[in-house]
């Protein structure tokens, strides 16, 4: 397991039983954010806090590249809400950290899996 995947699993476990959400940088730093929904099936983040976190990471020399969120009780497959978000944000990568692994998803002309790392 890589340091980044270990950090993503740790972020998932720390947010449990709720969904966790955060930022991943190009150098594999995992920066958890606060899920204001406090829900096991959805997340809400404050846009101002997201911007501040991105600026903090940039100030430390890290480049934010994507967001992650967790599915604490299910596989890392997009929910209907996730699929809608992906359709509305084409070519944006979504990382999902699920109960059984980590997967990347993107919507171009259709939903595409970018691959999965199974937790073993």
pLDDT digits (tens, 9 = 90+) for 61-79: 999 999 999 999 999 999 9
Q: Which two tokens stand for residue 74?
A: 């299910």
CA–CA separation, 69 and 57 (whole Å): 18
For range 45-70, the mean pLDDT: 96
Q: Which domains does the chain have, with CATH numbers?
A: 3-74+89-104 (3.40.140.10)
CA–CA separation, 67 and 90 (whole Å): 14
For range 73-89, the mean pLDDT: 93
């Amino acid at each position: 397991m890589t340091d980044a995947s270990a950090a993503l699993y740790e972020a998932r476990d720390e947010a449990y039983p709720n969904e966790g959400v955060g930022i991943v940088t190009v150098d594999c730093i995992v920066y958890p954010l606060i899920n204001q929904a406090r829900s096991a099936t959805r997340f809400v983040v404050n846009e101002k806090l997201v911007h501040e976190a991105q600026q903090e990471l940039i100030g430390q020399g890290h480049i934010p590249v994507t967001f992650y969120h967790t599915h604490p009780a299910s596989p890392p497959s997009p929910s209907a809400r996730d699929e809608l978000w992906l359709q509305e944000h084409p070519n944006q990568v979504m990382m999902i950290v699920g109960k059984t692994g980590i997967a990347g998803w993107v919507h171009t002309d259709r939903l595409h899996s970018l691959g999965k790392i199974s937790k073993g």
